[in-house]
Amino acid sequence: MLREITGFSNPLVKDARALRDKKARRETGRFLAEGLRILTEGLEAGFAPIQLWRTEASADHPLVKALERAAGETLVTSPDILGKLSGKDNPGQVLGVYAEFATPLAELDRSAADIWLVAQAMRDPGNLGTTMRTGDAVGAGGVILIDDCADPFSVEAVRASMGAIFTQKVVRTNWAEFIAWLRDGPGQLVGTSLNTDVDYQAASYAAPTFVLTGNESQGLPESYEADCDLLVKMPMRGKADSLNAAVATAVMAYEVLNQQRRVLVG
């Protein structure tokens, strides 16, 4: 179904714009994704938008046409209204409204991948989105969010994920539930910490490896570190005592991947 939306006061505009707020996302179970690349990634992963918002100028683009065929409805509007929805002065060609999705921890298949990323109390949505993007890059099975993490379905996190929100399993749980689940099967829990002398490149990682990164400012709680199978750290040669949480996750994930690749090649 296709309809034209011309007024800022249209209820559909207000409803979509409200999804920039966590309360509205929680109440409706929907979220926003913007940009042709991200929406196309979603479609290729099997996720079609409930609503596709586009401008008249993008009507003939083949990727937009594919999205339109899959969408529940298409809303044609002005660049100004699209900008209001996205919160950007120069919005992309398309914006989609999607149903939120999350995988219950009990349904997660740990054997589906050799690498899993675990974020504990990661508060910055940009870091969280980047972590999801890293997970996609290294072939991780998904991102497990522990305790009070940023909302993975926020506009900022979805944007930073560059489409990985659709390719990575997203699990939200707490530490006690996660540890009980993890110890019920195979899996090595590797935490990044300053409280160790083990260099991250000197350690050996066993699949499936769960790479654990703590809060941006506080790191991992001591009790969580005690539950890890292994604590590692990255050398700091300058004045900084730690890396950005998303950067540290990426460095760790690629070290795990490289070890696994060497085993396969060897």
Report domain extents, the chain: 2-99, 105-265
With 0.75 as the threshold, say if the pTM is over it.
yes
What is the CATH architecture of 2-99? 2-Layer Sandwich (3.30)
Instruction: Quote the mean pLDDT of the chain.
Output: 94
Rounded CA-CA distance 77/245 in Å is: 39
Tens of pLDDT, residues 40-63: 999 999 999 999 999 999 999 999
Task: For residue 136, give the amino acid letter.
Answer: D
Token pair belonging to 208: 């499936």
Rounded CA-CA distance 195/174 in Å is: 23
Tens of pLDDT, residues 64-85: 999 999 999 999 999 999 999 9
| Residue 265 pLDDT | 55
| Residue 93 pLDDT | 85
| Residue 238 pLDDT | 82
How big is the CA angle at 192 (ends 174 and 219), to the nearest 5 degrees? 60
Cis check: omega of the bond before 79, within 30 degrees of 0:
no
Residue 25: alpha-carbon gap to chain centroid: 16
Q: Is the pLDDT of residue 235 over 90?
A: no
Q: Measuring CA to CA, how many Å separate 16 from each of 9, 56, 67, 138, 232?
A: 12, 19, 18, 33, 43
Q: Do residues 158 and 166 make contact, with C-beta atoms less than 8 angstroms apart?
A: no
Indicate the fold that domain 105-265 takes in CATH: Alpha/beta knot (3.40.1280)
Q: Do residues 151 and 26 make contact, with C-beta atoms less than 8 angstroms apart?
A: no
Tens of pLDDT, residues 113-168: 999 999 999 999 999 999 999 999 999 999 999 999 999 999 999 999 999 999 99
| Residue 159 pLDDT | 95
